[in-house]
Amino acid sequence: MENRIKYLFLSLALVLVPTPGVAESLQPMIEPDVSPVPVDEALIDTEDFEIGIFAGVLSIEDFESSLLYGARLSYHLSETLFFELDAGFAEGGQTSFEKLAGNVQVLSDSEREYSYYSINLGYNVLPGEAFFSENYAFNTNFYLIGGAGATEFAGDTRFTINVGAGYQILLTDSVAIHLGLRQHYFRMDALGAEKTSINTEVSTALSVFF
């Protein structure tokens, strides 16, 4: 009985107060050599302003399609919301009536000059990545945008509403390209009865954050 009690106390002592040799034997024999791999990806820099130029095609209802160019300035409120100021310039072509009638002109050359100015609100709805090969990946944003402004065309200034969508690709931390589609709506009576003119814009933009 006495030997059993001594054996029990010795077992408890080994468990509660391990000897240095026992503690060392519990250490792993091979230390893992794991180090984090740095990942280099283009993100929007800390700058909130973005300025860019764009070019594309503007389909002016009843007045053919025209080369479009302009500039944009954006202020990013957060990762999802941004304000945008933009200005675009184009030139209206001939109507079907002018082509058939010969020398008849509905608008003068100066009245065919088309320009618009607007302030818009954009919302990034679908951030993601675009893979161009096994070694190149770029962060992207699909966004919706809309706003209001003015259009100067056919000798008058007209209140305009625009809505659309865009796809942003970040080439670096501070340089991005945009692919955009927008619709511009305003009331117009250049050909007689007043109606809503719907003008479609397709453009590509290059922008820089600062």
**Dihedral angle computed from the Cα positions of residues 180, 48, 149 and 55, in that order, rounded to the nearest 10 degrees:** -30
Phi and psi of 27, rounded to 5°?
A: -70, 145
Count of domains forming the chain: 1
CATH number at residue 201: 2.40.160.20
pLDDT at 46: 62
Identity of residue 57: V
Residue 19 lies in a domain: no
Residue 20 lies in a domain: no
Q: Which domain holds residue 65?
A: 49-209
Residue 22 lies in a domain: no
pLDDT at 17: 55
For 67-101, how does the pLDDT look when each residue is reduced to its tens digit (9 = 90+)?
999 999 999 999 999 999 999 999 999 988 888 87
